[in-house]
Amino acid sequence: MDTKEILKKVRKIEIKTRRLSDHIFSGEYHTSFKGRGMTFSEVRQYQYGDDVRAIDWNVTARYNEPYIKVFEEERELTMMLMVDCSGSESFGTQNQLKSEVVTEIAATLAFSSTQNNDKVGLILFSDEIELFIPPKKGKSHVLRIIRELIEFQPKSKKTDIAQALKFLSSVMKKKAIVFMISDFMSKDYEHTLKIASKKHDVTGIRVFDKREESLPNLGLVNMLDAESGKTMLVDTSSKKLRQNYEINYRTNVNYFTSIFSKCGAGAVSSRVDESYVTKLLGYFKARN
């Protein structure tokens, strides 16, 4: 894509995802992810129904009538988007590729954080760290993130989630809200996820295509492994092969859900042809 096409696509995604974040997500996001604590705001006269534990006894003694301390939530947070840009994300048998849905989800979350005056950053990863954009505020920063999601060309097509989580722990010293968006076709990341989720509020968003769940009987088919680049002739009429395919897929999914749950992290799964809006709203409400 040339610059004009990229800007047109950025604008299209901005219009769609900003509307979603403005009208749907920002309120749910605000209530789902709390600030770092409470900060003192002011002292005011006691009113009926106020918590007596908030009475400021020094001010009360000075004015000879009850006053209370008022606190506000220290709201500003940092969101870190960790987005899988490996070869398997360029797969799709419906109207959209997985990578396109991943970009929309990331953009919607980014605009939701901006609506709440939070910082947002980006980590693009394959089996290495492809790009790191430190967290900042503002619309122009979010548009830069969307542009990178659309046009960035990774060096590698493989996936290593453990490596990405290790990098997160090394660069983010303070607590962040972390959304890792991937198909999670990777294993052996339990240890690094456990470390990351102790410090950060981590949620895994698994995006998948229905053809990844089961293999149709199409006879002999040439298949390309998007991550290794290898092509092989596969006999999809073999019942045993189709069963093994489904077992392998289910094992991968079970690893994702069980490990995220075990490590105290959130987990969401959304199929390409499903509404990720419904899935994320359900997740946010369940957190509340």
DSSP string, 62-131: HHTS-EEEEEEEE---EEEEEEE-SGGGG--SSSS-HHHHHHHHHHHHHHHHHHTT-EEEEEEESSSEEE
Q: Positive or negative, the Cα torsion across 215, 216, 218, 222?
A: negative
Q: Give the tens place of pLDDT for each residue, 134-155.
A: 999 988 999 999 999 989 999 9
> Residue 19: which of 132, 103, 107, 93 has the closest Cα?
107
Residue 62: how many other CB atoms lie within 10 Å? 10
In this structure, are residues 120 and 145 in contact, taking their beta carbons and an 8 Å threshold?
Answer: yes
Do β-strands 78-84 and 177-182 pair in parallel, antiparallel, or remain unpaired? parallel
Average pLDDT over residues 98-117: 89
Instruction: Give residue 197's Cα distance to chain centre.
Output: 14
As given in the structure block, the two tokens for residue 95 are: 């109207």
Residue 33, SS3 per DSSP: coil
Q: Indicate whether 38 pLDDT > 90.
A: no
Q: What percent of the chain has pLDDT over 90?
A: 47
Collect all residues with Cβ–Cβ distance below 8 Å to 127 and sequence separation of at least 6. Answer: 86, 156, 158, 159, 160, 163
Q: Does residue 128 register a pLDDT over 60?
A: yes
Confidence at residue 25, expressed as pLDDT on a 0 to 100 scale: 66
State the Cα–Cα distance between residues 4 and 158, nearest whole angstrom. 30
Tell me the Ramachandran region of residue 229: left when phi exceeds 0, alpha when psi lies from -120 to 50, beta otherwise. Answer: left
| pLDDT band of 15, cuts 50, 70, 90 | confident
Within 10 Å of residue 263's Cβ, how many Cβ atoms? 20
* Amino acid letter, residue 96: Q
Among 37-41, 54-58, 96-100, 232-236, the minimum mean pLDDT is found in 37-41
Q: What is the rounded CA–CA span in Å between residue 244 and residue 9?
A: 39
**What is the number of other CB atoms lying within 10 angstroms of the CB of residue 2?**
7
Q: Average pLDDT for residues 13-29, to the nearest whole number?
A: 73
The pLDDT of residue 35 is above 60: no
Answer whether residue 133 shows pLDDT above 70. Answer: yes
DSSP secondary structure string for all residues of 222-263 = EEE-TTT--EEEEETT-HHHHHHHHHHHHHHHHHHHHHHHHT
What's the rounded mean pLDDT across residues 177-181?
A: 96
| Mean pLDDT value across the chain | 86
Highest mean pLDDT among 35-39, 87-91, 245-249: 245-249
Higher pLDDT, 73 or 100: 100
Mean pLDDT of 63-70: 88
Average pLDDT over residues 67-82: 78
